[in-house]
Structure 1
């Protein structure tokens, strides 16, 4: 079954007749009503397989084979669509968990917003600052800064990203009862799918008080947020230290091809497309 293309119906008495192993232990173990049948495997992405099988006795094979095959073909497309929807829903859930993990970092004001600046998630520091309204606030559910020119820059930046255009800058320094730095980055999304929860892409906004020493973030924190494995985390650490991919591979004791494959997986998980984008993303969040 695994050797055929997704959506192909296999009929036992046509493709693997029971007579070819009728005197084996396996055949004798089968109940007489299960010695013939038809089945289909549907693949909705890597490692997402659904097998649907119908079993019947050999005495019914002649009359059942064609009808069961037609039935499985008829339901294959709806089942595949359902499996694909479930897979995409799982991806969306994972992105929501990733956003929450990043936002929970302490020290800085951090929140997740959509392209309209509506707040989807905020950490404790952000909630406290929303109440004070000296630097940041939440008005009608939308994130806002007391520095109005920065508000305009932030809105324009999100519009560019939502339109698929890379903004020129993703950080700004502003003054509002002190000196602050604001940074924004697009959160990962899978295969171009828009979030099932927000109706659009999500963005992480971090506001840092430059007069207060920042708590050091670690790659491990971001590895948890983006779902990176330990080996992928170590590769990121090497790249952040300025090593080339080949140098990182040598230091980690892995083949260059393994490092390239590992980096490709990291790109997918972080929604980046090249090494410079990955370094910029991790640098903004740490």
Structure 2
């Protein structure tokens, strides 16, 4: 088997075993004597999911932290380029543009990615995937004669995306079926909160409380919807839990949102989140343990909130916890941030919604 055949085999193996992508990207970069390689999916406006080799990681962190996707002129050119091939810097910009564009001067060159090649791939999921390979400024532009070697790999990358998406879909369907057999309402969502699939128990439990819109799921409870959006928008997919208020015709729910294992490398999987709905423990009051689990509150923050729920003001909470009012206010500021609320009244209204409505 030739080195080219071995690399093609590695691409297909990575489709089934996403944890192999960093090594495969290393080998792809070496084809054109580069050291950095990245694959990411995007809706055209922001990075959805990504995987890279080790050499690329520091630059990628800067790219994400400083929001260069929004200022990336390369992306627009690669996405709209009509030819299905890898393209280098000279295909996208004139020498004068390369010297003056902030993207090159302020991001690519300082991070060792001055020269590169890239392509866009469609078909693996609802998003498009971009493959980007780079080398430092002192190495000079990627030789145009070498670009054909990368382009020959492109059809295999496209097929690998389809294989990975299909395998991921099958795994997620099994997960939903298993959770349904346990009586757990569960659904899989895309990176932006769009509903992919749900088991029958989820559909019955959600009822009118969730609306399946083209952009993403929407909660009828505005506070729950705001917390849902803040979880989706977090810089890293860490998940979280939040309450959905009770109503006159429906009991409260606790919504658990977890990133699907391997989301960082299972690049072409449509489903990236698992949502599970559970009722609060029947008859149990809102406890410090529940608050800690829902919102990642510290023990001190949870105790303050419990005292407020019991009717104590800031002064009463300070006296009960043996702290000062300023300390209680400091804890509350953190609690507001974690719960997506902005005042004591808003916080208490949110938490009281965990309690079933009084029976007539």
Q: TM-score, normalised by structure 2?
A: 0.34
- TM-score, normalised via structure 1 length: 0.41
- Report which of the two structures shows the higher radius of gyration computed on alpha carbons: 1
